[in-house]
Structure 1
Amino acid sequence: MYQKYKLSNGVRVVLEKISHVRSVSIGFWVKTGSIDENVENNGITHFIEHMLFKGTKNRTAKDIAKAIDDIGGQLNAFTSKECTCYYAKVLDTHMDIAIDVLTDMLFYSLFDPEEIKKEQSVVLEEINMYEDSPEDDVHDLLSKAVFQGHSLGFPVLGTQKTVNSFHRNMLIKYMKEHYTPENIVISIVGNFKEEEILYLLEEKCKDFKNTFPSSGIIEPAKFIKNKFIKHKDIEQVHICMGVEGVPINSKDHYPLLLVNTVFGGSMSSRLFQNIREDKGLAYSVYSYLSSYKDIGLFTIYSGVSPSQFDEVLRLIQEEGNNMRKIGLTEEELQKSKEQLKGNYILGLESTSSRMLSIGKSELFLNKIYSPKEIMQKIDKVSIQDIKRVIDKVFSFDEVAVSMIGNMNKNENLKNLRC
């Protein structure tokens, strides 16, 4: 059972009590990501995430790490295109320590200039590591192609140039603009006393009353039929093909998830069985959807040797065309429903995964759906819904492409309409 509250300063709190566990997972969600950046400060959201671990008025970076390590807990964070999350998982007896550390990081970080210099080097290495991994880099390249000119296409890590430009005043200004009470959701799942946890949060958050207005309104991104190629002397060619998907709150979200399960989202999918299992042409081939607030992206990825590239490309398009012509059978629809429901329920077996689920839902949808409601949404998807989504999404006449590898761009893309 979920409970929703609002602290006196406006921060939203969502709670799910599970009495039979001994852990508590706590997440502080901030509705800001690389979509809120510009060409001058790209990567600043991710950099701030790093800096919040580098020392506060009350703790050094080592003290922050030790505070959680000493009680056998976990402390981490991540930044995405539309949000940032700082989270901890601890024994229920140490809930107060986790909340104290997280609020200390969020509200009292120092942003010491010397630590900023050190962390710039760390993030630059992170960028280098990412660029050395073409199977990861090609997905960022697709976002850049599809959303060219819009901040949704910016890399979350930023660039060498922007990261080197960050300074203390710049970071503090961005935090004041985006780390505001209305932009924050605290999600907590596990074994706790509700009154105790709300009292703790009120006490720790009472001085957080940031009302500095965020600058500007972000116009929704538009899908661009585009092609980006990065030549690199490596053994494989990595390719992503993208078509416009659906936003996170769309009625077509669950139908598309089911279509993806059959098309390329699992080991039993058409893409995987045809290209890898039956023909042995690629080690990695799959599809997935990315759903944002105002738009979505449906992506097909494969990493293949240059000699197999044309055949794999032909087979991907063939499977896409078959999906439009044949769609899903009733049997495939039922199997994909069971698969999706199973994956969803198994993914909620831990307090941390449930904390992530309810926090993100409240942050973006202002609503939390129970597992029963999610299962009902999946079960209600009809063959007509599936057909509508396939007709809407599976159009290879409007496809964006990103590629990384040692290839002849004219020959390898001659059969792709882009």
Structure 2
Amino acid sequence: MNVETTRLSSGLTVVTETMPHLESVALGVWIKSGSRNETTEEHGIAHLLEHMAFKGTKRRSARDIAEEIENVGGELNAATSTETTSYYARVLKDHVPLAVDILADILTESEFDEEELRREKHVILQEIGAANDTPDDVVFDKFSEVAYRGQTIGRPILGTPDKVNSFTPGQIRGYLSRNYTTDRMFVVAAGAVDHQTFVKQVEERFASLPTAPSSPPVLEPARYIGGDVREDRDLMDAQLLIGFEGKAYHMRDFYCSQILANILGGGMSSRLFQEVREHRGLCYSVYAFHWGFSDTGIFGVHAATSGSELPNLLPVVIDELRKSSETIHQQEIDRARAQIRAQLLMGQESPAARAGQIARQMMLYGRPIPNPEMMERLEGITTERLTDLAGRLFFDTVPTLSAVGPIEQLAPISDISAALSSPAAKTQKAVG
């Protein structure tokens, strides 16, 4: 792994991976701050800031930003998540200085013009409306809200129309000054890049970043609560999401949870896909996932099916969860590990994938993690560890259920909770 790391005197961390066989470079700035770092009055401001960063600086108009990067065939984008925000570009190797200059410009010299802010608020209101019209988005947002009721981590990243409409340039600058500081930012590049040259470019252009926040951000500890949320809509299909508290990134069982999610619902050969879709034909989409955060996690199963199939679907899903707490085969572990290994190696062929992976590792672990070390962490996972984990995840914690669509025939949460703590023989009767 040809990865080099330099920490500048300002506290900003610069990381590169040289891939000399390429003609392009993927580069970006990752900030260890997202929607979870907002105050109650700032709900949605992290996402709004990400939009506004492209709407003009002291040297460039919004159009200038778009044209300059596209004039050289490059791409520029950004994303906001619960705990991170990223601004990234991909250009040919000769245009790295331009990409660095634009990224630095939008992150240190944005104007937050009132008229641009008004227009962008309107764009985000449309984005919120589109999300509310998308049932598979709604079911996940509602799941988070009830799993972490009354907490920042459970709020939708986009915010609410009232909050978004209320934001001022001063509020945006306040969030920016607290969270976009060198101790929380990582500049990463992968591809045809020379480390020392890149470090000098970053050091020069990002010199004006604040090194410490005026009032350090405080992250509210997550408290998983669980519960039930349903929205009856006149739709063709029902969206169903059942989940449990998972494992944080630094917990011992994090990688074990990733393997378990893969075995249960990580592909066409997974248990849920084979049993629920292929064998029984109960739905057209079913999968399992595990999301890790800094101090909590979510392990979930998502399915989309007709409302009439809900009484048949849920008992089968719960039965598969139960079986995973009783028996896991070594062949399943080997297949899950092979899939993760393939993803890691395939990611090395994409500079954008590598830059993102390195940035996440720096934010989570403080260093890049070589693929062999990653695979070594997976080698210690045994069938016994997996069955023990499944028992604790699915049957020793409070479930969270989120459902949207024609859900009249969905069993009450009391029956579902009973099925998750009852003998296997009672599962069908409890929730069917």
| TM-score, reference length from structure 2 | 0.93
Corresponding position of 1:322? 323
In the TM superposition, what is the alpha-carbon distance from 1:407 to its structure 2 partner? 2.6
Q: Deviations over 1:160-204 (max 9, x none)?
A: 111011111110111011111111011111112222111111110
CA distance in 2, matches of 1:274, 1:148: 33
- The aligned amino acid for 1:367 is R
Q: Deviations over 1:18-67 (max 9, x none)?
A: 11111111110111111112332111000000000101111111111111
Q: Per the alignment, do residues 408 and 414 of structure 1 end up closer, same or farther by CA in structure 2, a change over 3 Å counting?
A: farther
- The aligned amino acid for 2:392 is K
Corresponding position of 2:309? 308
Q: Per the alignment, do residues 397 and 15 of structure 1 end up closer, same or farther by CA in structure 2, a change over 3 Å counting?
A: closer
- The aligned amino acid for 1:206 is A
CA distance in 2, matches of 1:15, 1:303: 41
CA distance in 2, matches of 1:250, 1:193: 35
Corresponding position of 2:26? 25
Q: Per the alignment, do residues 377 and 286 of structure 1 end up closer, same or farther by CA in structure 2, a change over 3 Å counting?
A: same
- The aligned amino acid for 2:242 is M
Q: Which runs of 4+ in 1 moved over 3 A?
A: 409-415
| 2:416 corresponds to 1:400 | no
Corresponding position of 1:83? 84
CA distance in 1, matches of 2:314, 2:210: 54
Q: Per the alignment, do residues 279 and 122 of structure 1 end up closer, same or farther by CA in structure 2, a change over 3 Å counting?
A: same
Corresponding position of 1:109? 110
Q: Per the alignment, do residues 216 and 341 of structure 1 end up closer, same or farther by CA in structure 2, a change over 3 Å counting?
A: closer
Corresponding position of 1:337? 337
In the TM superposition, what is the alpha-carbon distance from 1:348 to its structure 2 partner? 2.7
CA distance in 1, matches of 2:210, 2:108: 10
Query: Please, what is the CA RMSD of the aligned residues?
Result: 1.6
CA distance in 1, matches of 2:394, 2:338: 23
In the TM superposition, what is the alpha-carbon distance from 1:215 to its structure 2 partner? 4.8
CA distance in 2, matches of 1:92, 1:361: 24
Corresponding position of 1:417? 417
Q: Which aligned pairs between 1:166-205 and structure 2 lie closer than 5 A?
A: 166-205=167-206
CA distance in 2, matches of 1:182, 1:397: 36
CA distance in 2, matches of 1:17, 1:152: 36
Corresponding position of 1:287? 288
Corresponding position of 1:374? 374
Corresponding position of 1:251? 252
CA distance in 2, matches of 1:382, 1:348: 27
Q: Per the alignment, do residues 405 and 214 of structure 1 end up closer, same or farther by CA in structure 2, a change over 3 Å counting?
A: farther
Q: Which aligned pairs between 1:347-366 and structure 2 lie closer than 5 A?
A: 347-366=347-366
Work out whether residues 27 and 85 of structure 1, in 8 Å CA contact, stay in contact via their aligned partners in 2: yes
| 2:374 corresponds to 1:390 | no
Q: Per the alignment, do residues 340 and 193 of structure 1 end up closer, same or farther by CA in structure 2, a change over 3 Å counting?
A: closer
| 2:241 corresponds to 1:233 | no
| 2:39 corresponds to 1:64 | no
Work out whether residues 176 and 210 of structure 1, in 8 Å CA contact, stay in contact via their aligned partners in 2: no
Work out whether residues 275 and 281 of structure 1, in 8 Å CA contact, stay in contact via their aligned partners in 2: yes
- The aligned amino acid for 1:118 is R
Work out whether residues 142 and 228 of structure 1, in 8 Å CA contact, stay in contact via their aligned partners in 2: yes
In the TM superposition, what is the alpha-carbon distance from 1:395 to its structure 2 partner? 2.0
- The aligned amino acid for 1:190 is G
| 2:309 corresponds to 1:297 | no
CA distance in 2, matches of 1:216, 1:354: 29
In the TM superposition, what is the alpha-carbon distance from 1:364 to its structure 2 partner? 1.9
Percent identity over the alignment?
A: 32
| TM-score, reference length from structure 1 | 0.96
Q: Per the alignment, do residues 165 and 210 of structure 1 end up closer, same or farther by CA in structure 2, a change over 3 Å counting?
A: farther
SS of the residue aligned with 2:395?
coil
Corresponding position of 1:118? 119
Work out whether residues 145 and 154 of structure 2, in 8 Å CA contact, stay in contact via their aligned partners in 1: yes
- The aligned amino acid for 1:386 is L
Work out whether residues 177 and 210 of structure 2, in 8 Å CA contact, stay in contact via their aligned partners in 1: no
Work out whether residues 317 and 396 of structure 1, in 8 Å CA contact, stay in contact via their aligned partners in 2: no
Corresponding position of 2:133? 132
- The aligned amino acid for 2:94 is T
- The aligned amino acid for 2:97 is D
- The aligned amino acid for 2:351 is T
CA distance in 2, matches of 1:76, 1:262: 33
Work out whether residues 183 and 212 of structure 2, in 8 Å CA contact, stay in contact via their aligned partners in 1: no
Q: Deviations over 1:262-300 (max 9, x none)?
A: 101111111111111111110111110110000010011
In the TM superposition, what is the alpha-carbon distance from 1:248 to its structure 2 partner? 1.1
- The aligned amino acid for 1:144 is E
CA distance in 2, matches of 1:389, 1:367: 28
CA distance in 2, matches of 1:411, 1:263: 22
Range with bigger deviation, 68-77 or 407-416: 407-416
Range with bigger deviation, 407-416 or 259-268: 407-416
Work out whether residues 229 and 409 of structure 1, in 8 Å CA contact, stay in contact via their aligned partners in 2: no
Q: Which aligned pairs between 1:254-265 and structure 2 lie closer than 5 A?
A: 254-265=255-266
